[in-house]
Amino acid sequence: MTRSIGAVLRLARELRTLSAVEAARAAGISAAYLSRLENDAVKRPSPPVLHRLSEALSVPYAELMRLCGYAVPGSSDATPAASVDNALFADLTDDERTELLEYLAWYRARRRSGRAEGPSARIG
């Protein structure tokens, strides 16, 4: 499933532990505009805005362009999900990667069994 530009921007900002104000300031846009972007009220921000967001949030510019429907010369029409995910998780520590993999294993097992309880629900 392809994420929206808003979902990618919000995820990138949260993974970088930036507030909306900090991220907006780093990208040279208003926090209100960033909020509109993250909530998909703006579907196709300008390339200069995408470029500044890519630098502020460490997300590949070409992938943000592609998510917004812009043609990206010299790139394939493949889904940008892999490149975006690689950029978002590039700075994970080994411990964070291990924790994520453990959580993913738990989540998939829960989905297969149809249970809706969280890991802490079994304690007690």
Interval 57-96: pLDDT, tens: 999 999 999 999 998 887 655 555 666 777 777 777 778 8
Q: Does a structural domain hold residue 124? A: no
Could you tell me the residue range of the domain that residue 101 belongs to?
Answer: 5-115
pTM of the model: 0.66
Q: Looking up tokens 């890991």, which residue turns up?
A: 119
CB atoms inside a 10 Å sphere around CB 83: 16
CB count within 10 Å of CB 108 equals 10
Total domains present in the chain:
1
In a domain, 121, yes or no: no
Residue 34 and residue 20 in contact, taking contact as beta carbons nearer than 8 Å: yes
Percent of the chain surpassing pLDDT 90: 45
Tokens of residue 38, six digits: 């993250």
Which CATH number characterizes residue 101's domain? 1.10.260.40
37, two tokens: 């972007």
